[in-house]
Structure 1
Amino acid sequence: MPVTINAHQLGRLIDRTIGHVADEYTEPLHGICLETDATHLYTVASDRYTIAAARYRHHGLDGEPFARTLPAGSLSSLREWITALPGTDPVTVNVTEDRFHFTAPHSTLSIAISLSLTVFNWRGVLRGAMEQTSPTDDAVFPVLDTRLLARFAAADGMIRLRVTADRQAVLIVGEDFLGAQMPARARRAGIGTDDLATLDQVYTTWHHTLADAEPIAMPDGIPAQTDRPRYEVTRDIAETAGDLLKQTLRSTHDMFSTDMPSEALAAYATAGVTAWTAYRYLDALHTADPKLAATVVAETADQLDSGEIGEFAWDAAQQAGHDPKTWSEEYEAWLEARAKNTTTQPSTKEPSTITSA
């Protein structure tokens, strides 16, 4: 029955569903369901109006699958315990009759299970939302409560929506994430007496404002973003990844297509290697945690724009237990030795720490 997953991914599973936990007045749903099958660990939560199911491929299941619900009151303690662990630490999740047991290499957390928290048929609910068909009148569209829709902000950086009918659930899809939201009745949502229940009614309401305009596709009708100043660093993940790949290709192209001094060749090689390494790290981080990747890209852009990355790197090296002062002294000694030898190739090799940096 035990299942193993790393601490970072367990925390992310909880974060993606915790916003959908029902309040204490809906006791059977006042928690997050933890469930396993042969390949995945799932977290599932619902407040009856929304449902969210996230999954991650676990490191292995020992025995039969399980399905139990973590009480909402214990979620803060569990999340704090996970946050205190290194993200790569394996966490084994085991279930006994009345408790969850979370075991990391150096600590253990046990949480009591409330038998009143039953696991509902979330697979059936989501399959129903996925397989529901659209009516022939596709002009009818649902009313969505934006306060409920906002709960899906933690689902993924980008999501897909499937809308089928006025009174049917809207399907919400992300990477390793399925969710659904029930529409509200127009009257309860404060829109009046279904005045805006069809596209024809919306068109009639807005005809006075839009009648003189020619239809234009959205990308063609809105001015494109002007190129940002050269000194500004992009905060967009896709653009950052593109810039890194472009730098890699340009550096490797110039290395093999032109004659250049050895020092220039080394500079191009370093630029290409560094750009490719940064791209691989960013791609892996985005796959593991898109939200964290977006945060890191934005923070890095701010640091680059500040022009103080040398100071940031010095502080980071000290915090990581390195000795940047020694690195600097070694590099200064190498520069001095190179300057003394003006007629032949310097025999003194550049310090490895500087080269690798």
Structure 2
Amino acid sequence: MSVTLNAHQFGRLLDRTACHIADEFIPALHGVRLETDDTFLYAIASDRYTLAVARYRHHGLDGAPFARTLPAHALASLRRRAADQPGGDPVTVTLAETRLRFTAPQGEVGVGVDDGQEFFGWRGVLRGVIEQIHTETGTDGPFPVFDTRLLARWTDIDHYLRLRVTADRQGALLVGEDFLGAQMPLRTRHDGFDTGLADDLDQIRALWDDALAGALAALMPDSLPAARRSSHDAPRTVAETAKGLLRQTLSSTHDLIEEISTSPAAVAAHANAGVTAWMAFRYLEALHHADPKLAARIVAETAEQLDDGAIGEFAHDAATTAGHDPNAWQDEFETKRAKQQSETGKELAAATGEGEQAPAPAGPALAANG
């Protein structure tokens, strides 16, 4: 089973999809899916929040259609090899057992793939998006054409922006925290050039009918595989983090009062958690007012570190960088803990009458008693 297309087209398939792949926590999405039919070679990638599907009309399919996922680690080298070929040279993609072979006039490379790896129903997801209607008007809604080079200018404003599109050839509204923006779509007829893009959804449906017609419309969040993460999901926005810190402060304060007459150790733990959460909230609040963009970046980076799970190693490195001796801190902690355990053992022995006993009589006394 093989399919052939030119090197330039193959390189563009990877370029248009690779930046949408998910991380290693979602193995099924950690790569670019290649699928064939009688007409097209498709490349599909998703990180659960975006979905990219690119296709090119291939030069010919030899055998039955096939589908395999190219692992993320192989994408960079494949892209370089495609770039090294003259753009018009043919690249043949051949499916062999557990491998995809990419053959070009200047050489061949093989990539290991998982023959049993499943992929989500991307056709149904795309059909679901296409079939959505405007909730206010009951129609398909506006369908403007935006210049992606201009869209990229909004990335430095905020991590999150709300986008409102009101009409086909009118400006879109972008709303951020203490921020409003607008971007005009292309007005192709007025500007005297043609983007080559379809003008409405009916044309889109017609162009992709061969690929999507047999799929049932599906919701994107429910149809893609979820990440294999721990039960703890670190907050990733400033607002979410601040809310969590306030909840932790109040929860720890409440638990401290509940435990105050029963467990000194629990009281200390709750007090420490509450104080730390309140300090973190105040520091985050100040940083957010002083530099919202930096605050958002720090929260996102911290979330990644928490998800990684190696915060002990991060803290050790940070302490060393700051000129402290974390090993000495550990020794001090161990010494203090050993002392506390010794004192606790003595108190317990005294309370149960199992303390030190009076010394036994000397030998002569024993002899006399005998």
TM-score (norm 2): 0.43
Higher alpha-carbon Rg = 2
